[in-house]
Amino acid sequence: MSVSVLGAGAFGTALAITLAERGVTLWARDPDAATAMQKTRENATRLKGIHLPEGLTVTSDLTTACAADTILMAVPMQSTAAFVTENADLLRGKKLVACSKGVDLTSLRGPTAILAEVTRAPAIITGPSFAIDIARGLPTALTLACKNPILGEELQETLSSATIRLYRSTDPVGAELGGALKNVIAIAAGAVMGAGLGESARAALITRGFAEMMRIAGPLGAIPETLMGLSGFGDLTLTCTSPTSRNYAYGFALGQGADYDPTITVEGAATARAVARLARDKDIEMPITSVVAALVEGRLDVSQGMQTLLSRPLKEEI
């Protein structure tokens, strides 16, 4: 089975590196960047110092990349819908695997719902992972979720590597929700630490954030227990505790009242806004998500956000 990765960001490049032993094509939108990567054998912008193995071919020709049987979609979440629409003829009927995390701000859909426009059984790879760890060959365990169990087994076999262990799930909605929602909580956790509120406050926030993730899972069509696995609790643990996380680092900057590099994609910012809308529409209580949405929109500062959460009515823990 031939494999391509669409999107030469850090995560897409890292996945391509792990699959290079069996041959993989990595598509980069910028022709100059693709030429440079193919020649220098390095993605100097996203993964500086990491060698691109010889089994990895970089191209800016989308038609060539889409000739593969299996396509890993590492396009940023907020660009996925437009990309699929623009390239529907090339993608239709392929084995598509989402590799982005988030909720589309316009349609309030996750990545597999968007990919379902052009393929019957879209899958998703998600879980606790930093691109640099994957690229360096450090051991990583991820969830591969697909409603079709036979296709899921096939993809698991094709996409696993010596350093990436894939666990199957038949709940792609739950898997993608875990990957999306943990970024929102990571922003809040970073803000807590940036504001100097302490480890105890962060632990409480992570715990209550996980309760919010579980609360919305069922109404959105997911199996809540899925979020107890790698794609939910596992990813939440990693992202809320490491400064390597872009979402955590963004939240930390918010907590300090500092600027954050606007060229760095922070999917949790858009996801917070989208999920806050979903929660209101479905009358689901998600106070942390609502506060994060207000923070990224500039409607609250961190001090006001913490006061909003702490002044909520006392209740039983559920």
Q: SS3 string of 161-218?
A: CCCEEEEEECCHHHHHHHHHHHHHHHHHHHHHHHCCCCHHHHHHHHHHHHHHHHHHHH
**188 is an annotated ligand-binding site residue:** no
- Paired tokens of 304: 């006001």
Per-residue pLDDT of 258-269, as tens digits, reads 999 999 999 999
Measured from the Cβ of residue 272, the count of other Cβ atoms closer than 10 Å reads: 33
30 is in an annotated binding site: no
Residue 200 annotated as binding site: no
Confidence (pLDDT) at 318: 75
Strand duo 140-146 + 123-126: pairing: antiparallel
pLDDT value of position 300 = 96
Q: Which two tokens stand for residue 223?
A: 């199996």
Q: Which domains does the chain have, with CATH numbers?
A: 3-170 (3.40.50.720), 181-310 (1.10.1040.10)
Predicted confidence at residue 1, as pLDDT, reads 82
Active-site residue (options: 94, 147, 182, 282):
182
User: Token match 């076999």: residue?
Assistant: 157
Q: Does the annotation flag 136 for ligand binding? A: no
* Known active-site residue 182: yes
Please tell me the distance from the alpha carbon of residue 124 to that of residue 146, in angstroms, as a whole number. Answer: 7
Query: Would you state the pLDDT for residue 295?
Result: 97
User: Which tens digit of pLDDT belongs to each residue from 20-60?
Assistant: 999 999 999 999 999 999 999 999 999 999 999 999 999 99
Taking 50 as the pLDDT cut, the residues of the chain under it are none
Per 3-state DSSP, the chain is made up of helix, strand and coil in percentages (nearest 5) of: 55, 10, 35
